[in-house]
Amino acid sequence: MTEPLILGIESSCDETGVGIVRGTELLANVLASSVDEQARFGGVVPEVASRAHVEAIIPTLERATREAGVSLSDVDAIAVTSGPGLVGSLLVGVTTAKALSVALGVPVYGVNHLAAHVVVDELQHGALPDPVMGLLVSGGHSSLIAVRDGVRDVDLIGQTLDDAAGEAFDKVARVLDLPFPGGPSIDDLAQHGDPEAIAFPRALQRDPQHEFDFSFSGLKTAVVRWLTDQHKAGNAVKRADVAASFQEAVADVLTRKAVLACQREGIAHLVLGGGVAANSRLRAMAEARCSAAGIELRVPRPGLCTDNGAMVAALGSHLVRHGVSPSPVNFPTTSALDVRTIVMTEGS
């Protein structure tokens, strides 16, 4: 018997994503992004994002079914991000998913975006180990989550207290006059810089209350202050050194805490997710530190790390395979959805 065909819809931030999977096989992963429209604002403007989703959702859906060589009537279940995210953006995906569910007479799963970032790895590396730790780092989140019991039990181990890691990359890129999104620009420039040139601060290293939490706004301020001081002193600034030293501080804190969290929770597998997981220094440092600590690292390819529809379809497919009940069709979108809510149920 062939496995069910799952359609996944993602619209929590500025990417409209539609993915189609069968089991853990990826059939289509189509993306429309409003990043070019956002670039002139230097960040994501919620109203711009919601309008872009409305325009992109149907064409993206059509491209995905065409790419997968299936028709909508072949779909067995639908999964959609119900949170966390921008509420106006989430609503576009959720409304579309509910309409399709009713029209096609198939179940709908309102799912958690963060759990989807971890489960997407099944599309590339097969069934997830259980338990597994997820380090999710993007423009919207920086979280460490422990995933157990076939993704039925998700626990928040740590998160950022202020800016997300990607947000820090974007803000520092702006002060260095680099284009948005800042992550890739800093990553490229850092190749030519010295990561030890400037000792930028590593926050929350010795705070027992926040052992696994992150804070990046002080780091951003330290970069701004350093640049101002150099300017005042009339010193020439080597931007590549600033980029490399900033990137080193971010990668250092993220990987150190991720490894510590695995050790503390007794978890031997770490999955990276989110746009910042594309960062070359973060990947290299995670590999080195995980291998030294005997932790197996799984990093999905960049197109699966950044927000996409396939990750939502992958989580939907996982839930269907594990016999989890679908959501009631009136489930809400929840912009601050708790990480422990993996799928929306009656009353969630």
- Please report how close the Cβ of residue 123 comes to ligand KG4 at its closest, in angstroms: 16
CB-based contacts of 336, cutoff 8 Å, min separation 6 = 83, 84
Nearest to 245 by CA among 267, 230, 223, 225: 223
Residue 109 contact, options ligand KG4, Zn ion, none, Cβ 5-8 Å cut-off depending on partner type: none
Among residues 201 and 302, whose Cβ is nearest to Zn ion?
302
Q: 């009339």: which residue's tokens?
A: 234
- Please report how close the Cβ of residue 166 comes to ligand KG4 at its closest, in angstroms: 3
Can residue 138 be called a binding residue for Zn ion (CB under 5 A)? yes
Among residues 163 and 307, whose Cβ is nearest to Zn ion?
307
Stretch of 181-189, 195-203, 307-315, 328-336 lying at the interface with Zn ion (CB under 5 A)? 307-315
Can residue 15 be called a binding residue for Zn ion (CB under 5 A)? no
Can residue 187 be called a binding residue for ligand KG4 (CB under 6 A)? yes
Residue 316 contact, options Zn ion, ligand KG4, none, Cβ 5-8 Å cut-off depending on partner type: none
Can residue 11 be called a binding residue for ligand KG4 (CB under 6 A)? no
Whole-angstrom CA distances from 33 to 66, 249, 344 are 19, 29, 26
Residue 166 contact, options ligand KG4, Zn ion, none, Cβ 5-8 Å cut-off depending on partner type: ligand KG4
Please calculate the CA angle 268-269-275 and round it to the nearest 5 degrees.
150
Stretch of 90-98, 182-190, 205-213, 261-269 lying at the interface with ligand KG4 (CB under 6 A)? 182-190
Is residue 244 within 8 A of residue 238, CB to CB? The reply is no
Residue 278 contact, options ligand KG4, Zn ion, none, Cβ 5-8 Å cut-off depending on partner type: ligand KG4
Can residue 140 be called a binding residue for ligand KG4 (CB under 6 A)? yes
Is residue 243 within 8 A of residue 219, CB to CB? The reply is no
Q: Rounded to an integer, what distance in angstroms lies between the CA atom of residue 291 and that of residue 280?
A: 17
Among residues 22 and 117, whose Cβ is nearest to ligand KG4?
117
Which of 138, 160, 317, 333 forms a contact with ligand KG4 (CB under 6 A)? Answer: 138
Among residues 13 and 157, whose Cβ is nearest to ligand KG4?
13
Can residue 193 be called a binding residue for ligand KG4 (CB under 6 A)? no
CB-based contacts of 286, cutoff 8 Å, min separation 6 = 135, 251, 254, 255, 258, 270, 272, 297, 299
Residue 182 contact, options ligand KG4, Zn ion, none, Cβ 5-8 Å cut-off depending on partner type: ligand KG4
Residue 184 contact, options Zn ion, ligand KG4, none, Cβ 5-8 Å cut-off depending on partner type: ligand KG4
Can residue 251 be called a binding residue for ligand KG4 (CB under 6 A)? no
Residues in a beta bridge with 214: 160
Concatenate the DSSP letters of all residues of 147-173 into one string: EETTTTEEEEEEEBSSS-HHHHHHHHH
Can residue 279 be called a binding residue for ligand KG4 (CB under 6 A)? yes
β pairing state of 5-10 and 77-83: parallel
Can residue 184 be called a binding residue for ligand KG4 (CB under 6 A)? yes
Nearest to 82 by CA among 57, 108, 106: 108
CB-based contacts of 106, cutoff 8 Å, min separation 6 = 75, 76, 77, 78, 100
Residue 252 contact, options ligand KG4, Zn ion, none, Cβ 5-8 Å cut-off depending on partner type: none
Using alpha carbons only, how large is the chain's radius of gyration in Å?
Answer: 20
- Please report how close the Cβ of residue 244 comes to ligand KG4 at its closest, in angstroms: 12
Amino acid at position 263, single letter = Q
Among residues 43 and 150, whose Cβ is nearest to ligand KG4?
43
Concatenate the DSSP letters of all residues of 209-260 into one string: GGTT-B--HHHHHHHHHHHHHHHHTT----HHHHHHHHHHHHHHHHHHHHHH
Instruction: Catalog residues that contact Zn ion under the rule CB under 5 A.
Output: 138, 307
Binding site for ligand KG4 (CB under 6 A): 13, 138-140, 166, 169-170, 181-184, 187, 274-276, 278-279, 306-307
